[in-house]
Amino acid sequence: MRKIAIIGVGFMGGSFAKAIKMSFSTVCVWGYARSNASYYKLERLRILDKVEKNLEKLLKDADYVVLATPVYAIVEYLKKISCYLKKGTIVFDLGSSKELVEKSAKRFLPKEVDFVGCHPLCGSEKSGPQHSVSGLFKGSLCIITSSFKKKSTREVKKMWEKMGCRIVFMPAKLHDRILSSTSHLPHLVSFSLMYLVSFSFRNFSSNSLRDLTRISFSPATVWTDIFLSNQKNIVRDVEKFIRVLNKFKNFIKNKKRKKIFRLIEEINAKQKKFWKKR
Amino acid sequence: MRKIAIIGVGFMGGSFAKAIKMSFSTVCVWGYARSNASYYKLERLRILDKVEKNLEKLLKDADYVVLATPVYAIVEYLKKISCYLKKGTIVFDLGSSKELVEKSAKRFLPKEVDFVGCHPLCGSEKSGPQHSVSGLFKGSLCIITSSFKKKSTREVKKMWEKMGCRIVFMPAKLHDRILSSTSHLPHLVSFSLMYLVSFSFRNFSSNSLRDLTRISFSPATVWTDIFLSNQKNIVRDVEKFIRVLNKFKNFIKNKKRKKIFRLIEEINAKQKKFWKKR
């Protein structure tokens, strides 16, 4: 029986607990409750084999420690847990930006503990363990940012594959650059659009607006941390995005019909190719 | 038997033809084919009672004329058709920006012909009559920008209601201001996001990006016209949007954790209220 300890049993951590129990019969899943409120909530939800409020007890004899909190809390827990981990424990995280987390793991974890940076590309604008789903990881991509030469990485890889993930390895730096563009910027754009649109126009909104603002319900705790921890890439991508908007705007302002038409046609073609089933 | 003539039998016009035939048994729906190719396509699709290549024949004895082309083509057809219309014909359009269309109708149509500006708030990123659906208008809102004091407006209103629409009356100017923010800006944002994201990142894209770029497949013919015909509102809204993006960006750049957090929380709350079922 292997013991898995999850810190951060929210939507992602809760879904991980459900999925890992579905995929492996020989695991015992413990989860951390920071407060009495979350203790009783988690007890009631019956996602875990054991809910534990004491960090030391939680981590005692754990084979795997899963960090599923917002990014800066992952950093904090890497500091806090380092003294409780036994030799050979594998620590991995589910954070959405990876460079900061990997650096912190190197800095804070003892040498005899292995760290594997993971980011399963799935999620929800909903939050909390009550919304967690066992099939969340099925068919999604999981990016692993640690070296596949390590035995621990291969072990974690197998775990994700058993839960239905496809695996891609890449350096944390590249991960952060790509995700800034494919996920972090889209979230910032969605937040900004929701911020802008006048509340009094809500009766005249379309499905397009609904689709574009769905993820603007994504939790502030998670996204403040993502934006700050991937600051440089996001700032650069927002600036690039503003340049595209200005290009469009100037074409419209100067009635450049042909240029607008060609630009949209080009985008149409790219959209079709981009989302073509592979 | 009333005769309805549709000019522009694409996705919207085709859906209108199907819906009107479902809702009224006593109508005869004619559609205009500009070319041989579209003539044979429309014949094959069997959406219409008659496909007509001759504009004069199409409009002869028509009780209603529906303009369902892109906005500037509506303006062109208002010019072209004016000499063929009989007294008492009601002309209405389905265009996405209304001020230009209403002005053109006033300018080009003869006095004994009534014009009613309509915009059913539904659509698709797909185009062409082959994608048209009879239930498109069911449950959607239709904005009418002409005075409800006119008998013709009330007649057109009833037609939309029979097809399942809820009706709101408002001046064309207000319509264009609202739709710029709830539909036209979101499309421009979606186009820009699709333009920006690197094609090589496609394997690492999320559902969020997919949702945000769905409408970037919307046709260039339709959207070039919308952007140009609602130029002033859109340019102003893009500028406002860029200001919000810059605000976000500066908070991130300057590590204003609390400000980012509060901003997202505020947006979360607005999102929830905005999309709450009414």
Q: How far apart are CA A141 and CA A27, in angstroms?
A: 23
Q: If you count them, how many residues does chain B have?
A: 278
Supply the pLDDT for residue A147. 82
pLDDT digits (tens, 9 = 90+) for A115-140: 999 999 998 888 899 999 999 999 99
**Same domain? B179 vs B237:** yes
A84 and A222 assigned to the same domain: no
A74 vs A94: CA distance, rounded Å: 9
Q: Are residues B143 and B198 in the same domain?
A: no
Tell me, yes or no, whether A116 and A238 share the same domain.
Answer: no
The residues in B 203-242 lying below 8 A from A, measured between CB atoms, are: 203-221, 223-224, 227-228, 231, 234-235, 237-242
Contact criterion met (CB < 8 Å) for A141 and B203: yes
Average pLDDT of span A188-200: 98
Range of the domain at A252: 174-274
Q: Say if strands A114-120 and A141-144 run parallel, antiparallel, or are unpaired.
A: antiparallel
Asked whether the beta carbons of A92 and A120 are under 8 A apart, the reply is no
Contact B194 A238 (CB under 8 A): no
The answer to whether B223 contacts A264, with C-beta atoms less than 8 Å apart, is yes
Per-residue pLDDT at B278: 66
- Residues A78 and A113: their CA atoms lie apart, in Å, by 11
Question: What sign results for the dihedral spanned by CA atoms A169, A173, A176, A180?
Answer: negative
CB contact under 8 A, A242 and B245: yes
What pLDDT shows up at residue A144? Answer: 98
Distance from the Cα of B227 to chain A's closest Cα (Å) equals 7
Nearest CA in chain B to A215: B208
- Mean pLDDT taken over chain A: 96
Q: Do A206 and B242 touch (CB under 8 A)?
A: no
The domain boundary residue, chosen from B127, B142, B170: B170
From B23, B121, B83, B70, select the one nearest B225 (Cα to Cα): B70
Confidence at residue B255, expressed as pLDDT on a 0 to 100 scale: 98
Q: Does residue B254 sit at the A interface (CB-CB below 8 Å)?
A: no
pLDDT for res B124? 83
CB B96 within 8 A of CB B183: yes
Q: Return residues 119-148 of B near A (CB < 8 Å).
A: 121-123, 141, 143
Query: β-strand A90-93 against A27-32: which pairing, if any?
Result: unpaired
A278 pLDDT higher than 70? no
* B4 close to B62: Cβ distance less than 8 angstroms: yes
Please give the residue of chain A at the shortest CA–CA distance from B249. A235
Same domain as B191, residue B91 = no
Chain A: closest CA distance from residue B27 (Å): 30
Last residue of a domain, one of B137, B170, B203: B170
Same domain flag for A159 and A116: yes
Q: What is the mean pLDDT of residues A131-150?
A: 93
Q: Do B267 and A242 touch (CB under 8 A)?
A: no
What string of H, E and C letters represents the secondary structure of B117-158?
Answer: EEEECCCCCCCCHHHCCCCCCCCCEEEECCCCCCHHHHHHHH
Contacts A213 to B, Cβ<8 Å: 271, 274-275
d(CA A274, CA B233): 31
- Residue B109 sits in a domain whose CATH number is 3.40.50.720
Q: Are residues A254 and A186 in the same domain?
A: yes
Q: Any idea what the CATH number is for the domain that residue B237 is in? A: 1.10.3660.10
Token digits of residue A216: 């603007």
Q: Pick out chain B residues at pLDDT < 70.
A: 278
Nearest to A228 among B209, B252, B268 (CB): B252
- Chain A contacts in chain B segment 46-65 (CB below 8 A): none
Tokens representing B100? 């230009």
A163 and A181 belong to one structural domain: no
CA B85 from chain center: how many Å?
A: 24
**Tens-place pLDDT, residues A20-60:** 999 999 999 999 999 999 999 999 999 999 999 999 999 99
Across the interface, of A208, A218, A219, the residue whose CB is closest to B186 is A208
Tokens representing A179?
């995700």
Q: Is the Cα dihedral A65, A69, A74, A80 positive or negative? A: negative
CA distance A141 to chain B (A): 8
The two most distant CA atoms of chain B are separated, in Å, by: 69
Residues A136 and A188 grouped into a single domain: no
Give the A window 165-184 contacts with B, CB below 8 Å.
168, 178-179, 181-183
Query: What b-and-e string marks burial along B181-220, b requiring 16 or more CB atoms within 10 Å of the CB?
Result: bbbbbbbbbbbbbbbbbeeebbebbbbbbebbbbbbbbbb
Q: Exposed, middle or buried: residue B272 (CB in 10 Å: 0-12, 13-18, 19+)?
A: exposed
Q: Residues B158, B179: one domain?
A: no
Residue B88's CB is within 10 A of a number of other CB atoms, namely 10
- What span, in angstroms and rounded, lies between the C-alpha atoms of B105 and B99? 10
Q: Which residues of A touch B268 (CB under 8 A)?
A: 216-220
| Boundary-marking domain end, from B170, B204, B225 | B170
CB-CB under 8 Å, B195 with A266: yes
**Pick among B121, B182, B184, B247 to test the A interface (most A CBs inside 10 A):** B182
d(CA B58, CA B48): 12
Report the alpha-carbon distance of residue A87 to residue B180 in Å, rounded. 60
In A128-175 the beta strands, taken as DSSP E runs, fall at 141-144, 166-169
Within a 13 Å sphere around the CA of B147, how many CA atoms are in the beta-carbon half? Answer: 4
Q: Which of A192, A212, A249 sits opposite B190 (nearest CB)?
A: A212
Q: How far is B142 from chain A (nearest CA, A)?
A: 9
Looking at the fold, whether A164 and A182 belong to one and the same domain comes out as: no
Number of domains observed in the structure of chain A: 2
> Do the chains contact at B211 and A212, CB–CB below 8 Å?
yes
Q: What pLDDT was estimated at residue B148?
A: 79
Q: What backbone phi and psi angles, to 5 degrees, belong to A224?
A: -60, -45
Query: Per the CB < 8 Å rule, is A252 touching B203?
Result: no
**Tokens coding B45:** 């699709």
pLDDT tens digits, A210-255: 999 999 999 999 999 999 999 999 999 999 999 999 999 999 999 9
For chain B, where are the alpha helices, taking DSSP H only? 11-23, 36-45, 55-59, 71-81, 99-108, 151-162, 172-179, 185-196, 207-213, 220-229, 231-253, 257-274
Chain B residues in contact with A233 by the CB 8 A cut-off are none
Going by C-alpha positions, the residue among A13, A11, A8, A71 that lies closest to residue A225 is: A71
One DSSP character per residue, A56-79 reads HHHHTT-SEEEE-S-HHHHHHHHH
Q: Check whether residue B14 and residue B100 sit in a common domain.
A: yes
Q: Say which of A185, A192, A205 has its CB closest to residue B241.
A: A192
